[in-house]
Amino acid sequence: MIAGTFLNIAHRGARAFAPENTLPAIRMAQRLGSNAIEIDVQMSRDGELIVIHDDELSRCTDVETRFRARTHDRVGGFMWADGAVLDAGSWYDREIAKPLQERQRCLRDLSSE
């Protein structure tokens, strides 16, 4: 880092403005002027890479609907094809619709402005 300058690194993309670790979040971080974007990558059971932060799929996907018995399984326990059918974005719209105090912590400060 050069003295007097700051790096604007978007953690999981611009996750306050789009579902984290998704292309829309990465594109929004670029539009907002981020110097770098940090994403999280894990490996599926069959050795493929999956972009997700959590160890489990339940917070940011619809795993509870599609694989009810495996809701709390670790990401690495799923085959890539299983992960590929999950919806990793609709949760964001549901969170934003909640009152501020009921949202996930990273979205509580986000106002309608």
Catalytic residue numbers read 11, 53
Report how far residue 23's alpha carbon sits from residue 19's, in angstroms, rounded to the nearest whole number: 9
Which runs of E-coded beta strand occur in the chain?
9-11, 36-38, 41-43, 49-51
How is residue 93 written in tokens?
A: 């719209």
Q: Rounded to 5 degrees, what angle do the CA atoms 50, 44, 84 make?
A: 55
